[in-house]
């Protein structure tokens, strides 16, 4: 099975900072990659699918890129409401594995 890794596992940044999270697949998955945001105590929310397509209603400060094995999620200007754990997920074929998550908080 394809394994998903994320880095860093956590980060602390200031409001307004540009934040980048990396997700890597152990084998190529084309662009079948999604990013989710889970705020503390809340249900996960789809942010990006097909590696770079912003889900409806998601602020434009979120963006995704990559294809094959290496992907990034970027928050162009970190806001207090972005404090959350972010997960990547592959969905090219089962199992639809999630990455271990990246916890983002405000410095």
Burial group, residue 16, by CB count within 10 angstroms (0-12, 13-18, 19+): exposed
CB atoms within 10 A of CB 47: 23
Q: Provide the minimum distance between the beta carbon of 32 and another protein in the complex, in angstroms, as a whole number.
A: 8
- 54 near another protein (CB under 8 A): no
Please state, in angstroms and rounded to a whole number, the distance separating the CA atoms of residues 71 and 53: 13
Query: Which of 7, 10, 15, 96 contacts another protein by CB under 8 A?
Result: 96
Query: Which of 23, 34, 78, 104 contacts another protein by CB under 8 A?
Result: 34
Phi and psi at 17, nearest 5°, equal -70, 155
- 70 near another protein (CB under 8 A): no
- 49 near another protein (CB under 8 A): yes
Edge-to-edge strand list for the sheet holding 102-106:
10-13, 102-106, 84-90, 33-38, 45-49, 53-54
Listed residue (24, 33, 17, 31) closest to 82, CA to CA = 17
Query: Of 78 and 88, which has the nearer Cβ to another protein?
Result: 88
- 38 near another protein (CB under 8 A): yes
Query: Of 17 and 54, which has the nearer Cβ to another protein?
Result: 54
Positions touching another protein (CB under 8 A) are 1, 34, 36, 38, 43-46, 49-50, 55, 85, 87, 89, 91, 94-101
């Amino acid at each position: 099975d394809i394994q998903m890794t994320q880095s860093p596992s956590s980060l602390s940044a200031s409001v307004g900072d540009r934040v980048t999270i990396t997700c890597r697949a152990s084998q190529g998955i084309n662009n079948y990659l999604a990013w989710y945001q889970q705020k503390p105590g809340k249900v996960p929310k789809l942010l990006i699918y097909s590696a770079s397509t912003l889900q409806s209603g998601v602020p434009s400060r979120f963006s995704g890129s990559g294809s094959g094995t290496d992907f990034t999620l970027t928050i162009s200007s970190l806001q207090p409401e972005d404090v959350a754990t972010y997960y990547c997920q592959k969905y090219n074929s089962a199992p639809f594995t999630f990455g271990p998550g990246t916890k983002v908080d405000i410095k």
